[in-house]
Amino acid sequence: MDELLQAVEVLLPNLYLAALFLYAGHFARESAWAGRCGRRTLVLAIVLHAGALALRRVVLGHFPPASALEAMSTVALATAAIYVIVEPRIGERTTGILVLVLVYPLTLAAVAFDARPKIDDPRLQSPWFVLHIAPAIFGYAGFALSSLYGLAYLLLHRAMKRHRFGMIYQRLPPLDALAAMNLRATWAGFLGLTAALVMGSVWASRELGALPFADPKMLLALSTWTLYGGALASRHILGWSARRLALLTMGGFLLILFSLVIVNLLLTGFHAFA
């Protein structure tokens, strides 16, 4: 089983890389063949990724997102999976390259730096763990996608403002479609994080009798929730432009990534299982 897990985890980033090249070919050369093959390779990578996480459960004895690297890997999987589901609705594959530019390095890092921790924390066996972690993963995947579509929106906006009609103009979906994807992904992320906070709060109350407001990850999650909630309110109520939301969501996700690194490397607290 261990050897199998190792083999799968070696293959996995390479599959994402192959998908990235194919989606890049579709973007740069308008190759329909590359687009079709890219999607099939991505689906295969997602299936393999899910299998790898299931294997980790068997080999290591805990549900995967218990360490920072596992959480990163699971967010990458969720981001890729949500994109694959949504891609037919978008109607084109040109933004796939952006998704893979995020998913591939996250997966590579998760596999390359993984120390295969065997974590025995009994909290990981509680069903509340799944109820809390699943919407959290979904939420962060939503924020990841919203930042990618925010980036795409800003790139196209800039190209058109500068009257440049090169590859960005020709290959990306229309500006309002990118704005809509950015907004929907932000909502998905916000709702996911809300559910995660609620579930986590209920669980913590039952386990600890009080909410661990001083926990770094809890503080980070609350800050993230406030930031994105404020951005959505400003968009819908104050009429902030799609460009402002794109900037906020991009900045927001960069902040999440940066903060996660700091929190996991330097700080400990209630959320530390490993």
Partner 1 sequence: MASESPDPFPKTSDPVVLGVNYRTAPVAVLERVALGPARLPVEVRRTVEGGAAAEAVILSTCNRLEVWAVGTTTERLRDFAGGMTEAPELFQDSTVSYAFEGDAAVNHMFRVAAGLESMVLGETQILGQVKDSLAAAETAGAVGTVLRRIVEAAIKAGRRAQTETALHRGATSVASAAVELVRHIFRDLREKVALIVGAGETGSLVARHLIQAGVEKRVVTSRTEEHARALAAEIGGTVAPWAAVEEAVGEADIVVGCAASPDRVVGRDDLRRVLKRRRRGTLVLVDIGVPRNFDPAIDELPDVFLHDMDDLDRLVRSNLEKREREVPAVLRILDEVRDALRAEVAKERANPVIRGLVTRAEAARQEELARRKNQLAPEVYAAVERETKIVLAKLLHGPLEKIRQYAGDGVRGAGKLDAIVDAFDLGPLLAAEQAGGAGSPQTTPPAPSPADAGPPVAAAPPASKPGEAPS
Using CB under 8 A, list all residues that contact partner 1: 30, 156, 160-161, 163, 165, 169, 173-177, 239, 241-243
- Shortest Å, Cβ 143 to partner 1: 23
Of 209 and 239, which has the nearer Cβ to partner 1?
239
Of 163 and 266, which has the nearer Cβ to partner 1?
163
Q: How far apart are CA 203 and CA 129, in angstroms?
A: 8
Of 172 and 193, which has the nearer Cβ to partner 1?
172
Q: Is 272 helix (H, G, I), strand (E, B) or coil?
A: coil
- Shortest Å, Cβ 251 to partner 1: 18
Of 40 and 236, which has the nearer Cβ to partner 1?
236
Of 151 and 178, which has the nearer Cβ to partner 1?
178
Of 28 and 262, which has the nearer Cβ to partner 1?
28
End-to-end CA distance of the chain: 22
- Shortest Å, Cβ 179 to partner 1: 8
- Shortest Å, Cβ 248 to partner 1: 15
- Shortest Å, Cβ 171 to partner 1: 10
- Shortest Å, Cβ 82 to partner 1: 20
Q: How far apart are CA 21 and CA 38, in angstroms?
A: 8
